[in-house]
Amino acid sequence: MHQSKTDKPLKIPQHVAIIMDGNGRWARQKFLPRQFGHKEGVNSLKRIVKHCVHLGIKVLTVYAFSTENWARPEEEVSFLMSLMEKTIHTEIQELDEQGVRIRMIGDRTTLSQQYRQLWERAEERTHSNNILQLNIAFNYGGRNEIVNAARSLIQDVLAGKLTFADITEQQFSNALYTQNLPDPDLIIRTGGEYRMSNFLLWQAAYAEWYFTDVLWPDFGTEEFEKALESYTYRERRFGRVLEK
Ligand code: FPP
């Protein structure tokens, strides 16, 4: 049993999502190019994935690359792309052995064949694992996801596969990239900003948020447990009144 500092057992969320912010600033503070921050960010992610497996968290969703990130300088975009590709290639075996199932969430329709294949191969290789589901939000935007879901539902209605009345919140959720996954219980944002940045807009409806000034490359297991400790003390009411 994992204890919090106050001896209350840590409440382990089923699904944790993370906005991994602050890589660039971490590097700048050390007078290094931003790329060093991203590299160190990958190490941070590896630590957190391992810790999720250790704690028994079932789903981890990380914001790796947004639909807006393409507007960064070309050099940074191509660095990030090759860093992710390399990381997948070097880590896939260990992830597979740890029982991690990888899934890319994001818009595949506008991806080049190279990146579509990268994710498809990682997904195929790990599809029967069930210790931790690692969702990598890549070419992801919450508004884009909602618009695409609406489009696919309209298509189904026009094709006679669904009726207007079939379109419920549940049906809508199933049309999102996250499909049948549970909504995130806890969303962590590192790097000191207090905004959603187009991340999991629909799914975050009842999530608990945890913000920290710690920059992503410095976010270790101790910081992660601080977030879980904070979550342990939250009272989740989902809009209802809890009986005392
Ligand atoms: C935000 O920091 C971070 C990113 C845009 C990239 C995050 C990606 C990784 C950590 C790599 C993930 C790898 C895999 C394989 C999924 P920032 O650049 O916005 O930092 P700043 O706010 O300090 O400028």
Rounded CA-CA distance 107/111 in Å is: 7
The pLDDT value recorded for residue 235 is 81
pLDDT digits (tens, 9 = 90+) for 164-185: 999 999 999 999 999 989 999 9
pLDDT digits (tens, 9 = 90+) for 80-102: 999 999 999 999 999 999 999 99
The pLDDT value recorded for residue 34 is 96
Domain range for 144: 15-232
Would residue 6 count as lying in a domain?
Answer: no
Would you give the DSSP letter of residue 162?
A: S
Would residue 197 count as lying in a domain?
Answer: yes
pLDDT digits (tens, 9 = 90+) for 31-89: 999 999 999 999 999 999 999 999 999 999 999 999 999 999 999 999 999 999 999 99
With a 6 Å cutoff on the Cβ, whether 106 touches ligand 1 is no
pLDDT digits (tens, 9 = 90+) for 193-229: 999 999 999 999 999 999 999 999 999 999 999 999 9
> Is 70 exceeded by the pLDDT of residue 237?
yes
With a 6 Å cutoff on the Cβ, whether 136 touches ligand 1 is yes
Would residue 135 count as lying in a domain?
Answer: yes
Q: How far is CA 8 from CA 208, 228, 230, in A?
A: 19, 11, 11
| C-alpha of residue 24 to centroid of ligand 1, in Å | 8
Would residue 175 count as lying in a domain?
Answer: yes
| C-alpha of residue 149 to centroid of ligand 1, in Å | 26
Which numbered atom of ligand 1 lies nearest the CA of 44? 10
With a 6 Å cutoff on the Cβ, whether 42 touches ligand 1 is yes
Would residue 98 count as lying in a domain?
Answer: yes
| C-alpha of residue 194 to centroid of ligand 1, in Å | 16
Average pLDDT over residues 109-135: 96
Rounded CA-CA distance 224/68 in Å is: 27
Would residue 243 count as lying in a domain?
Answer: no
With a 6 Å cutoff on the Cβ, whether 60 touches ligand 1 is no
With bands split at pLDDT 50, 70 and 90, how would you rate the model's confidence at 244? low
Pocket test for ligand 1, best of 21, 78, 95 (most atoms within 8 A of CB): 21
Would residue 10 count as lying in a domain?
Answer: no
> Is 70 exceeded by the pLDDT of residue 5?
no
Residues 66 and 197 sit within 8 Å (Cβ to Cβ): yes
With a 6 Å cutoff on the Cβ, whether 84 touches ligand 1 is yes
Average pLDDT over residues 21-38: 97
With bands split at pLDDT 50, 70 and 90, how would you rate the model's confidence at 4? low
Cα-trace Rg, the chain? 19
Average pLDDT over residues 3-20: 86
What CATH number is attached to the domain comprising 62?
3.40.1180.10
When divided into structural domains, the chain yields a total of: 1
Instruction: Cite the active site residues.
Output: 21, 69
Within a 10 A sphere around the Cβ of 83, how many other Cβ atoms?
16
The pLDDT value recorded for residue 242 is 75
With bands split at pLDDT 50, 70 and 90, how would you rate the model's confidence at 118? very high
With bands split at pLDDT 50, 70 and 90, how would you rate the model's confidence at 147? very high
Residues 16 and 60 sit within 8 Å (Cβ to Cβ): yes
| C-alpha of residue 42 to centroid of ligand 1, in Å | 8
